[in-house]
Amino acid sequence: MNKTINPKKWGISVLALILVFVIAVGAAVIYVDPFWHFHGPTAGLSYPYLDERYQNDGIARHFSYDAVIAGTSIAENFKVSKVKELWGYETIKQTAASATFYEQDGYVRRAFSHNPDIKLVIRSLDATRLVTGPEDESYDDIPKYLYDENIFNDVRYLYNKDVIQRVTEVINYTRAGNVTKPMDEYGVWYPYATYGREEVLAGLIDYSDFTEEVMFDAYADKMLAVNVERNILKTAREHPDTEFIFFIPPYSAAYWYGMLKTKQLNYTIEAYKLAVSLLLTEDNIKVYDFSDMVDITTNLDNYMDTLHYGEWINDQMLLWMSEGEGELTKENYEAHLDKVKEIYENLEYDYE
């Protein structure tokens, strides 16, 4: 004789199964923790580097370090082992492609919140990020729930289909015999790059429509000053015992050719002059520029496009900065940047 299913018991059983499933999923995310939100890497598991904007905060929370490298793709190819060799500091990267000054400062501030004893911060001064809003962001879907201390919004991490997929990727990555790569390789793009004159010049455009000089006006002046004040100087003042090193990237001569042709060369130089003058008001900030190193900038074999150079240039810059080579001071920065302008105004380009 068939027994009649008790609807109440059936409902309770289903709810119990759902609850077990929900707990199991949450437990798996917590145990694997692909973005290191709750803890560092789990012993026995290997982690692929997936997305800096998701993993940066976990690294800042749970890794051991004395120094931080921040910045855009211009800074992603730095090696923390080189910083260790030159300065003696254990270092983490907090880079993110296309990051604005606001985003970069956010990563640095989060690192300080987890480790107030940071000795050194190295950051890039990208020309494209100087004149931007003080709270501008490069992407709309930045996972800010990972960056705060609000435990209640962690549900967005525990039961997020993308995070659950990352859990699976960590498991598969481990089962395939991979190991977590050293921090040197976090965020790097150089293994996938193709360098050379052909690659660089392919990115040049038709400049014939650019006929009016771009002026560094009062609006640009104010935007830059506010951006630097809020996203660099404020943090430097709050941490007077930390050394902050900023560098102007050695963009290729083809980049400066583009600035000349689009009539933005003077604008860019004036923007850098203002930025450097503001940075040098703080005793714990140093600024370096290698734009006048024409042996590097005119050799397009060093570049994958007009902006991005090979990792050997990153290595060389760290060496130079550790030795004080290319340092800008209150006494020399204006003359130096005038020299950069003169170099690229008068360089004999053969790009057409």
Domain CATH number, residue 202: 3.40.50.1110
Q: What mean pLDDT, rounded, does the chain reach?
A: 93
Give the bridge partners for 266, in sequence order. none
pLDDT digit string (tens) for 32-78? 999 999 999 999 999 999 889 999 999 999 999 999 999 999 999 99
Residue 109 to residue 116: CA distance in whole angstroms: 9
In this structure, is residue 250 part of a structural domain?
A: yes
Number of H helices, E strands in the chain: 14, 6
CB-CB contact of 200 with 303 (8 Å) = yes
The pLDDT value given to residue 152: 79
Residue 156 to residue 308: CA distance in whole angstroms: 35
The pLDDT value given to residue 20: 66
The pLDDT value given to residue 1: 47
Residue 49 to residue 151: CA distance in whole angstroms: 25
Give the bridge partners for 68, in sequence order. 92, 121
pTM, rounded to two decimals: 0.92
Q: Which domain holds residue 264?
A: 65-140+183-346
| SS3 category, 241 | coil
Whether residue 244 is predicted with pLDDT greater than 50 in this model: the reply is yes
Q: Which residue has the tokens 């609006």?
A: 219
pLDDT digit string (tens) for 17-37? 766 666 877 898 999 999 999
Q: Which of 301, 323, 324 is nearest to 313 (CA)?
A: 301
In this structure, is residue 11 part of a structural domain?
A: no
Residue 107 to residue 110: CA distance in whole angstroms: 5
φ/ψ (deg, to 5) at 67: -140, 160
Whether residue 308 is predicted with pLDDT greater than 80 in this model: the reply is yes
Whether residue 184 is predicted with pLDDT greater than 60 in this model: the reply is yes
Residue 250 to residue 320: CA distance in whole angstroms: 13
How many domains would you assign to the chain?
1
CB-based contacts of 131-134 (< 8 A; 24+ apart in sequence): 131/220, 131/223, 131/224, 131/227, 131/271, 132/100, 132/101, 132/102, 132/223, 132/227, 133/102, 133/223, 133/227, 134/101, 134/102, 134/226, 134/227, 134/229, 134/230, 134/231
Sign of torsion over alpha carbons 265, 271, 272, 274: positive
Whether residue 6 is predicted with pLDDT greater than 50 in this model: the reply is yes
Whether residue 137 is predicted with pLDDT greater than 70 in this model: the reply is yes
Chain-centroid distance, C-alpha 60: 13
The pLDDT value given to residue 209: 92
Whether residue 112 is predicted with pLDDT greater than 70 in this model: the reply is yes
Residue 50 to residue 178: CA distance in whole angstroms: 14
Q: Which residue has the tokens 């003077």?
A: 266
In this structure, is residue 303 part of a structural domain?
A: yes
β-pair type (91-95, 327-328): unpaired
In this structure, is residue 119 part of a structural domain?
A: yes
Strand ranges across the sheet with 120-124: 91-95, 67-71, 120-124, 243-248, 285-289, 327-328
φ/ψ (deg, to 5) at 129: -110, 0
Q: Which of 9, 263, 232 is nearest to 125 (CA)?
A: 232
Model confidence at 16, pLDDT cuts 50, 70, 90, reads low
pLDDT digit string (tens) for 192-229? 999 999 999 999 999 999 999 999 999 999 999 999 99
In this structure, is residue 169 part of a structural domain?
A: no
The pLDDT value given to residue 14: 60
107-140 burial: b if 16+ Cβ within 10 Å, else e: bbbbbbeebeebbbbbbbbbbebbbbebeebbee
Query: Residue range 287-312: average pLDDT?
Result: 98
In this structure, is residue 172 part of a structural domain?
A: no
Whether residue 144 is predicted with pLDDT greater than 90 in this model: the reply is no
In this structure, is residue 218 part of a structural domain?
A: yes
In this structure, is residue 318 part of a structural domain?
A: yes
φ/ψ (deg, to 5) at 93: -100, 140
> In this predicted model, which residue has the larger pLDDT, 280 or 146?
280
The pLDDT value given to residue 4: 63
| SS3 category, 247 | strand
φ/ψ (deg, to 5) at 328: -100, 140
